A and B are shown apart, each in its own frame.
Chain A
């Protein structure tokens, strides 16, 4: 990869091809498709993206700009056309709002709307306002002209921490408010930035949405449980569990299920795609999965509660966690013969020792 600095200019050809090839693989497309993906990503009509922030922590944006390839500058300037993003854009105040209106007008019906954060409905939605406009109204206006709406993060997709009990602002997910547009949920707290990039590129390449599950999540990223591809899975199958943080099993890297790991009930690709471009993810660091991509797990159950497991035994095609004994051990004849030879050697030494004189001469130890 080229340098990952914020200020590097542009995206090198090789890095770009590597990125599109990686994203093609992530989407589960045939390898030959990566030229098509690359073409879509370099087309002149790069998708205008309008990014709205509501009740959230900006963690999803942080996650996105922490992706190393492409680096943030290349992502925002070259790959997509990020027309409005409250934390990343240069303009501020009225200038910023004007660029939002301009972009919406210019790209009406074409732009992709990315929503980050939940929308409060209590007391007519006064708990979240940007430029004096209520979140619920901003969303309604922006969604009207959008080609598709991507709800990034668990807050936008399922309500998140705002919607947790007792939910004083009556926050609801952004996806539940958009009725007449295609909505893609990319939950996670934060989600992997590559899941967002892959979704956008899929849309650009095929002009349609990727296959979604019943919770609106792209199946290529959220089709399988964390548990299925976890590196600690063999420990689960072998019954080796960390019982508490810092114990023997925990330091040996055993399964974190008993510490509350939600991997068995959480659909996400964290155990495969991982984070920060260095192959880490919570479970690899010794913390159980908190189930942040599920609407009913994170913010609705305790992090340290055990998940309910429905499929305890591993599939047949998994390698056996308790391998059968291999290699040839001792057999009676060999043991007997070796024992006899060793016994004879010891007996011979004993006889020799016995034959040697017990006392010695006095002339010694002048060395």
Chain B
């Protein structure tokens, strides 16, 4: 990868090029819209489950039915959010960006849609299975054991075409986003197959089991969500700002830093647990070292946007993506804090674990995906988003809720840990100390549910071809008071 590779992204737009892009967009239309809409539907389902599970933690009698007990609604919520929303939104973005960057049309959209249906059926069976009382205790692998082959096969059937597209790419350089997407194509089958073979097929793992489940969860976060999210950010940010990435060398360094370090993380969750001491030590060290690529990425994004910060106010895609990029830094710092041995007594087994999961899946990944969806959908549907006001509501609802969740889960986690340290009150102090923060968590999920309902409705109208047919792209503020709005119009919207 070299500096010149950037030409792949900021290629000069000729009439031919525009025709070709339109053809590519047409070819990806069906699968990408399929994944986006089913992802948004799962997002709404999971936020409602999120409201239920966080209320259950405060008032266990809420709704009063056993299949919504915290022990079931919490994993159902998290798995619906991860496999229902995050993976499908990510797949949609991967397909479109890979096709655009390889400048090849997607040859077999129907195969992808069929595989996508199997994926959805697998997730639905998994979520219902957890609620029905057939789940497992493995972190982020709580789906009943019969579900994983369905997910693995359908995922592989989807990404194999991305790899085929990459091999058939038009001669030319490769952009960093493509490497990130390729890494995500390979990493998920690898970690998912390994973890499931050992935990669900071979079994008898004893104390290695939770270490492997933690390894899997950490790897899903840093080897799947992070590559897809960053790949998308590396695409969206230069596109909208209209200038190349600040330092391509840094981007390359951050990529390989991530790939080399992330597979070692995970076991630090079990600091002091009955596993060999070298495991949490190595995992914790890798997690802290991961801050180096994080710094490289964050500064790279910041410096690329620098000077065009007014675009962040106007462009929905850039604003969501930029927020997501900050979320990436927050996720990594809280993950590093969690892996420190000094902190472990206050953070291990508390809500801090949830803070890392939620900042990672929501504040970073989901926000980046929203940015990409606001960018992609007008191009493949040929119409513009209906209202900037709805996008504004979606952004502020999500942003406030994400920040609230990060703060209350981190602070609540530390209070909980401090309460646990009282030797003679069993868990009473811990639960009393953290109760107030849990109220904040419920409110945040209510906000998210409202924001996501608006988003799903907006997206459904776009898919139903009810978007604005002509005119300038939809901005967050309709009458931009800035001259820079000109810049946005050239790069945002269906024609670009």
User: Do A and B interact with each other, yes or no?
Assistant: no
Chain B positions within 8 Å of A, measured between CB atoms, are none
Chain A positions within 8 Å of B, measured between CB atoms, are none
